[in-house]
Amino acid sequence: MQPLAITACTVTNALGRGLPASLAALRRGESGLRPCDFEDAALATWIGRVAGLEDEPLRDEFAAFDCRNNRLARLGLEQDGFAKAVKAARSRYGADRIGVFVGTSTSGIGATEQAYRRRDPSTGALPESFDYQHTHNVFSVADFTRRWLNLTGVALAISTACSSSAKAFASAWRQMKAGFCEAAVVGGVDSLCLTTLYGFNALGLASPQPCRPWDRERDGLSVGEAAGFALLEWAEPGDGRVRLLGYGESSDAYHMTAAHPEGAGAALAMQQALDRAQVPPEQVHYINLHGTATPLNDAAEDRAVLRIFGAATPCSSTKGWTGHTLGAAGITEAIFVALCLERGLIPGTLNTRQRDPELGAGVVLGNQERPLRLALSNSFGFGGTNCSLLFGRDGA
């Protein structure tokens, strides 16, 4: 397929604000996870929380959008010179020729949680200040993003659980290929809220310790929050950019929450990404796993990786650093892969002490430094909504 270049990107998560904070923490092996201290949640689990959001409200023309999710989006857009790069692109293409594609799972549902706490005790009515359209609505963060960046082209919100912001890349490619836009801002934003914390706890999926992907004693995930964005333009020969070379999407059609036990949909997504890029699996130098650290999900992904790549391809999960950032996981880990390609870094699998002997993929535990040309990022969501993205350096 015709490749897209990442011409600017940014990421904010529990490791800090902007690319340098994440890269430095990855190199140091320093996790952003901490014991749960979100609002009044009485849960024995660990979270990946972005510090300071409570004290940074949206004001003036963006006051209607004020909620934790859109605050996190604003914070992300302000890092790494991203807004400046989009402004320059706007002058090249025009505001109506740059699309916006943002993934999220729960959007600003935290605003609704707060509103329900302030219901009228006699009537049960929600407070008049509650603004569903600009906070909770799933399109809210995409709407906020396009307004913040002064863009007027096609704008889509994508909500397919934990694959949302990975699928934003695929949607952007299709829209650009069809001629609806000439460049695209893709991203993902998901913030902590009680719905996800108590929800994963009720499902028995929230670990009481920092998550340990692929570990023989893994017992669940750590919920995190993040915002990430990338500016995509058609790649030019010799532009020196990291490129999206292929994508794959599939549906397990198996269960409302559980992954297919043999990883059938995951394997199909990975194979599609390779096929679109016309790349054989043995040329891929690194796989960033979805790697949530739940027993069943890691086992299913392991079988899928073994089916397509065998046991020799180095792979790791970075969720021990950031937690599982849900709808923002795809963009966060895609940007991590781009950093790895640029810097020749394979991050280890933080917190994992002993690989599960029942799993066979080539999971690395400690950081490795080596040149990388091609790398894959996996994102798999509830209901078997799968997406794999293949990236490469210029000339790969």
Q: Mind telling me the catalytic residues?
A: 162, 290, 324
Residue pair 135/65 in contact by the 8 Å Cβ criterion? yes
Whole-number Å distance between alpha carbons of 332 and 365: 20
DSSP 250: E
> What are residue 368's phi and psi, to 5 degrees?
-130, 145
Pairing of strands 286-288, 243-251: unpaired
List b or e across 115-148, with b for residues whose CB sees 16 or more CB atoms inside 10 angstroms.
beeeeeeeeeeeeeebbeebbbbbbbbbbbbbeb
List b or e across 28-37, with b for residues whose CB sees 16 or more CB atoms inside 10 angstroms.
eeebbbeebe
Instruction: Work out the angle at residue 9's Cα, subtended by the Cα atoms of residues 267 and 87, and round it to the nearest 5 degrees.
Output: 135
The amino acid sitting at 239 is: D
Total count of residues recorded for the chain: 396
Question: End-to-end alpha-carbon separation of the chain, Å?
Answer: 14
Q: Please return the burial class of 352, using the count of CB atoms within 10 Å of its CB with bins 0-12, 13-18 and 19+.
A: buried
DSSP 61: G
Q: Which residue intervals of 149-243 are DSSP H helices? A: 164-177, 194-202
CA-based nearest residue to 330, from 97, 7, 9, 3: 9
Residue pair 169/391 in contact by the 8 Å Cβ criterion? no
